[in-house]
RNA sequence: UCCAGCGUAGCUCAGUGGUAGAGCGGUCGGCUGUUAACCGAUUGGUCGUAGGUUCGAAUCCUACCGCUGGAGCCA
């Protein structure tokens, strides 16, 4: 006897006609007994929705079926028919139910709702919950939409190294990569001799693919990276993780304005794409996570982002009459509370701040003609803060070397990076978009730990 | 790393010095084309850990651990 090949529950529910013989497989969400049969809510993760299975008492193993509990895995064959009950269009009347993997009353996911904090402790089971199923389906779609956006625009996807030798990329603490025996390291003149390490030098996990992406952009014109990034900062907040994914486009012959345009276009594109392709998931977020989510996202897609120079932002903040905990003055970094005021109170929309004082930005950013500011930009969104950070890069060799010296870096250590300016240099720009922060913004989920399947944060690398 | 708050049943929480509680869940029974079903019964605890104060500590004190929120750093 040949079984029909399995149909996803998503496809089954989208059927336009009854199907005599269909097979589905998944995990039991709930089961209710009726007089002569049992209702099983089955979910296979293909969508938020469950398929209602009618298990009649004529089934050979009906006694076992009645003992099925939440969490069990089963394979069901039968007929897809119009549902007699309200609440669903289709249901599956089972001819056969194979119990693949049992479960019992200790299964932690109950019919009742759970807090995200509790579910975080069972990260291996939480994908089976409605909320996390939705988050991870949207995560997948968002990743796809990112590639689609860049590929449609002629960008080349490049892979920059995860292991890097650059330790001065100006972005946070690094995780060391080494095969040296830490209990008995080789030494030279009392110091650990990294010349004997695996790569014959000190190496780290990447904090950014930007420097390498610049090399590729100055050959392929428009490139982007999309990969994991690691920061060893002891940050304990709802929007920092030690391991996260970042998108870094880099464009040759592009100035800061082109850069800001692209960032804005990308953010809007991604929101619109997920709104269109994950409507069930977005409805769930709007209902259970953030009531104002859809309204805010639509507003962001419809309106141009506010662009404001750093110096003007400082003036606005000074004149705001608002009582801030931290001082605001030209030359100081904008604090979270200042960013919040700009996006949430003053403009009520994403804000791109640009042209920052050179003193508070890294060495690779291009010095403006005023000699005081660099062509940097931060895209701030309500509720999250900085979601994009980017700049026009310093393409002039002399100026770049001067920046390095000012940042107490030795240009000799960056020979290859300077070569890019020595041979066929060109104005170029790029930015970094935090993938998880974008996902938080789109889903409304307020903690970065809940948009990563198995999050890594200081003191926590379980699973 | 700093500041604040919280750790009590599987989950969400109440209990503020004197016999450890509720709702939900689970289990059993009833009813039922149900759908966070309904009705009844029942099950459930080293009160985060270790010290201390007290006749007596879930409750007060100290330390540690964990979680949450905020800050710094950033994406």
Of A56, A59, A98, the C-alpha closest to A76 is A98
- Predicted confidence (pLDDT) per residue in A342-355, tens digit: 988 898 889 999 99
DSSP annotation of A323 reads -
A118, closest nucleotide (Cα–C1') = B11
pLDDT band at A182 (very low <50, low <70, confident <90, very high): confident
Question: What is the overall mean pLDDT for chain A?
Answer: 91
What ipTM is given for this predicted complex? 0.88
The pLDDT of residue A233 is 87
Are A9-101 and A126-172+207-450 the same fold in CATH?
Answer: no
A 51-80: CB within 7 Å of strand B: 52, 54, 69-70
- Predicted confidence (pLDDT) per residue in A18-30, tens digit: 999 999 999 999 9
How many Å from the CA of A259 to C1' of B19?
Answer: 71
A 257-296: CB within 7 Å of strand B: none
- Predicted confidence (pLDDT) per residue in A191-226, tens digit: 899 999 999 998 999 999 999 999 999 999 999 999
How many Å from the CA of A227 to C1' of B72?
Answer: 26
Fold of A126-172+207-450: BirA Bifunctional Protein; domain 2 (3.30.930)
| pLDDT mean over A387-399 | 95
**Is nucleic acid strand B under 7 Å from A243's C-beta?**
no
Looking at the structure, give the CATH architecture of the domain made up of residues A9-101.
Answer: Beta Barrel (2.40)
- pLDDT for A57 beyond 80: yes
**Is nucleic acid strand B under 7 Å from A32's C-beta?**
yes
The pLDDT of residue A40 is 93
Q: Is A197 within 8 Å of A182 (Cβ atoms)?
A: no
**Is nucleic acid strand B under 7 Å from A33's C-beta?**
yes
The pLDDT of residue A169 is 52
Q: How far apart are CA A375 and CA A392, in angstroms?
A: 5
Strand B bases with any atom < 7 A from protein Cβ: 1-2, 10-13, 24-27, 31-37, 66-75
Contacts by A105-114, CB closer than 8 A, 24 or more apart: A105/A69, A107/A69, A107/A70, A107/A71, A109/A70, A109/A71, A110/A70, A111/A30, A111/A70
Task: Report domain extents, chain A.
Answer: 9-101, 126-172+207-450
pLDDT band at A1 (very low <50, low <70, confident <90, very high): very low
The pLDDT of residue A168 is 54
How many Å from the CA of A123 to C1' of B71?
Answer: 28
- pLDDT for A171 beyond 70: no
- Predicted confidence (pLDDT) per residue in A95-119, tens digit: 999 999 988 888 888 777 788 989 9
């Amino acid at each position: 006897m040949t079984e029909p090949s399995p149909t996803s529950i998503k496809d089954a529910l989208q059927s336009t006609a009854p199907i005599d013989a269909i097979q589905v497989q998944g995990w039991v969400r709930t089961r209710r007994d009726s007089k002569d049969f049992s209702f099983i809510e089955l979910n296979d993760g293909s969508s938020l929705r469950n398929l209602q299975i009618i298990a009649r008492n004529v089934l050979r193993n009906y006694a076992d079926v009645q003992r099925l509990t939440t969490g069990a895995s089963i394979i069901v064959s039968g007929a897809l028919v119009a549902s007699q009950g309200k609440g669903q269009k289709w249901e599956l009347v089972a001819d056969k139910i194979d119990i693949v993997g049992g479960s019992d009353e200790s299964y932690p996911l109950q019919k009742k709702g759970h807090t995200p904090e509790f579910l975080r402790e069972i990260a291996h089971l939480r994908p089976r919950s409605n909320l996390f199923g939705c988050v991870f389906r949207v995560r997948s779609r968002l990743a796809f939409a990112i590639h689609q956006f860049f590929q449609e625009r002629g960008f080349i996807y490049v892979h920059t190294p995860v292991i890097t030798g650059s330790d001065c990329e100006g972005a946070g603490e690094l995780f060391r990569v080494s095969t040296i025996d830490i209990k008995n390291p080789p030494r030279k003149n009392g110091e650990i001799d990294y010349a004997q390490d695996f790569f014959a030098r000190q190496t780290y996990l990447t904090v950014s693919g930007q420097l390498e992406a610049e090399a590729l952009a100055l050959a392929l014109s428009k490139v982007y990276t999309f990969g994991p990034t690691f920061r060893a900062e002891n940050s304990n907040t709802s929007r920092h993780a030690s391991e996260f994914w970042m998108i870094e486009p880099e464009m040759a012959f592009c100035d800061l304005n082109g850069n800001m345009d692209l960032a804005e276009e990308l953010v809007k594109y991604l929101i619109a794409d997920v709104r269109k392709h994950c409507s069930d998931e977005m409805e769930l977020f709007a209902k259970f996570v953030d009531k104002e989510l859809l309204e805010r996202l639509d507003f962001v897609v419809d309106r141009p982002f506010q662009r404001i120079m750093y110096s003007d932002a400082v003036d606005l903040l000074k004149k705001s009459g608002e009582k801030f905990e931290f001082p605001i003055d030209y030359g100081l970094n904008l604090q979270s509370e200042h960013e919040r005021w700009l996006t949430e109170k003053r403009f009520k929309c994403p804000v791109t701040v640009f042209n920052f004082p050179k003193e508070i930005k890294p060495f690779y950013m291009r010095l403006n003609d005023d000699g005081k500011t660099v062509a940097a930009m931060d895209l701030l969104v309500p509720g999250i803060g900085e979601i994009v950070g980017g700049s026009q890069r310093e393409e002039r060799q002399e100026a770049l070397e001067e920046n390095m010296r000012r940042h107490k870096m030795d240009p000799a250590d960056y020979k290859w990076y300077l070569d890019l300016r020595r041979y066929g240099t060109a104005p170029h720009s790029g930015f970094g978009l935090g993938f998880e922060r974008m996902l938080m913004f789109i889903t409304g989920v307020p903690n970065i730990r809940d948009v990563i399947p198995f999050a890594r944060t200081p003191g926590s690398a379980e699973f």
